[in-house]
Structure 1
Amino acid sequence: MPDLTAPSEDNSMLARLELLAMIRSGTLGPEGRLPPERELCARWGIGRRALRRALESLEVEGILWRRQGKGTFAGQAADRVGRIAAGIVGQIAPLEMMFARLQIEPALAAEAARRADPEDIKRLRDLAARVERSRDHDSTELWDWSLHRYIARMSGNRALLVSLAMMNEMRIDSVWREQREGARTSATLRVTHQQHGAIIDAIAAGDPIAAEAAMRLHLRTIMRNLELFLERDNGKETVE
C-alpha cells in the first residue's frame, strides 16, 4: 500500500506534461531522442524520481521507447493538445472536474470495449497492476492517470480525448493533489483496485454496457470520497 502518512513532494504529472509538450514540439530531431535525464531535471526543476516515473509511464503507453546505452526516444507522436487549461486550472474545483469526467469517461470505456484487442487488454492489466504496486501518492496518481488515459485512447474519439487531456492539467494543481491525497486511504485504494479490475474485465469481454456502468461506478466512488473528505476538512476548520 502507498505511504499515506505525508503529502507527496514529487510531481510526476508535471514531468509527464513537460515530456509530452517536448515530444509534440518537434524539436527532438529526426531520431526523436530525448535529452539526458540530468538536463531535463535541471530545465524543469523536478526531481530524478519524478522524471523517471513519468518516462516509465509514457514508455508503458507506447509513447516512448528506450535503447540500452543509447537513450530514450519518442516512439509515436504525442496527442496534439496544448496546455490550454493551464491558465484556468486554479478556477476549477476538483469536484467540478469529477463531474465532467462522469460525463465523458463512461462513454470512452464503452467505446474501448467495442475496439479492444488482446494487446490493449494486456497493457490495461499491466497499468492496473502498476497502480496497485505503487507505494506513495505521486506514483499512484501517475499510474492511475496512465490507465484512464489509455482507455480513452482506445476509444479512438479524439474530441473526447482532448477534453480529458485538458482535465489532466488539474492533476498538477496543488489543490487537486491535496484533496485527492486527503481522500485516499488504504480502504479506498482497495475499492479502486477492484473497480479497475471490473472495468478492464468488461472491456476484455467486449461488453460496452458493462464497461460504461463499471466506469461510472468507479468515478462516482471517487467523487463521493472527495465529498466526504471535504466535509471532514470543513468540519475541522469550523472547530478550529
Structure 2
Amino acid sequence: MADRDHDNSSLALERLRAVLRDVPATGDSRIPTERQLAETLGISRRSVRRALEVLEAEGLVWRRQGAGTFAGPRPDTLEEVPAPDANFTEVMEVRLRVEPQLAQLAALRATASDVARMRDILARLDTSDDADARELWDSALHREIARAAGNRFFLMIFDSMDRARHDEAWRALRERARSRANLVVYARQHRELVDAIADHDPVRAGAAMRAHIMSLNDGILKLTSLEALDDAS
C-alpha cells in the first residue's frame, strides 16, 4: 500500500488541495518545490508534478520558470516578459491600435464606481506639479480605463506596453514634450474621454482616445524634429 501511495497522482492532488487551503491565494505566495512537496507528502515527484498541472489548469496555482509555483491565479501582468527598450515609434504604434479599443470597451462596461475612480485620478493628475507625479497619475488614468474595459488579456498587453514609462529616456522625452499649452490640451482631452465613457458612448470614447494619443504623438514628433535640427546646426 505504501508503494502504491508513493506513485498516486490522485492522492497527490487531494493532499495538495489540503496544502493550498492554508496558503493565501494571492498569486504571490510561493509554495514548496516539487521535491519538498514529494518528501513532505510521501508521494513521488512525478505524481506531485501531475497534480500541480491539474491545479494550474484550474487556476489554483501558477508557475514561472526558475521562480517556483505560486498559490492563486496568475497576476494580470506580463512581468515574466522583460520590458522592451523604450522606442517612441513602437510604443505609439501599439498605443494607437490598442487604447482606442480599450476606451470603447470601457464605455460599454464601466460601472459608476469605475467612472468615479477615473474622475478622482483625473483630479489628481490636473493638480500634479512635477514630472514624476504627472507620469504616475497619467499612467493610472489610462490603466483604469484599460481595467474598466473588462478584458484581462487586453490589460496584460496594456501593462506590458505601459512599462516603457519606467525608462528614464522615455520619461524625459515625454516631459520635454509637455509644454504648458500642451498640458492644457491634454487635460481637456482627458476630460472629454472620461465624459464619453461615463455617457457609455463607445464611438465618442474611441475617437477621444485616438485624438489624445495622436496629440501626444504629434507633440513628441515635433520636439524630436526640432532637437534634431538643433543638433545638426
With the shorter chain as reference, the TM-score category is 0.5 to 0.7
Higher RCO, 1 or 2 (CA under 8 Å, sep at least 6)? 1
Q: Is the 8 A contact 1:112 1:203 kept in 2?
A: yes
Shift of 1:78: 5.2
Matches within 5 A, 1:41-190: 79-86=76-83, 89-90=84-85, 92-190=86-184
1:123–1:130: structure 2 CA closer, same or farther, 3 Å change rule?
same
Shift of 1:95: 2.4
Q: Is the 8 A contact 1:24 1:80 kept in 2?
A: no
Please identify runs of 4+ aligned residues in structure 1 that moved more than 4 A.
Answer: none
Shift of 1:113: 0.5
Distance (Å, rounded) in 1 between the aligned partners of 2:192 and 2:144: 16
TM-score normalised according to structure 1 size: 0.66
Q: Which amino acid aligns with 1:172?
A: H
TM-score normalised according to structure 2 size: 0.67
Q: Is the 8 A contact 1:83 1:169 kept in 2?
A: no
Shift of 1:24: 4.9
1:78–1:135: structure 2 CA closer, same or farther, 3 Å change rule?
farther
Would you say 1:237 and 2:228 are equivalent positions? no
Q: CA RMSD in A?
A: 1.8
Shift of 1:155: 0.7
Which SS does the other structure have where 2:78 is aligned? coil
- 5+ residue gaps, structure 1: 1-22, 28-76
Identity level (%): 38
1:109–1:167: structure 2 CA closer, same or farther, 3 Å change rule?
same
Would you say 1:225 and 2:202 are equivalent positions? no
Superimposed CA distance per residue, residues 32-66 of structure 1 (whole angstroms, 9 cap, x where no aligned partner) = xxxxxxxxxxxxxxxxxxxxxxxxxxxxxxxxxxx
Number of aligned residue pairs? 166
Shift of 1:213: 0.4
Would you say 1:196 and 2:157 are equivalent positions? no
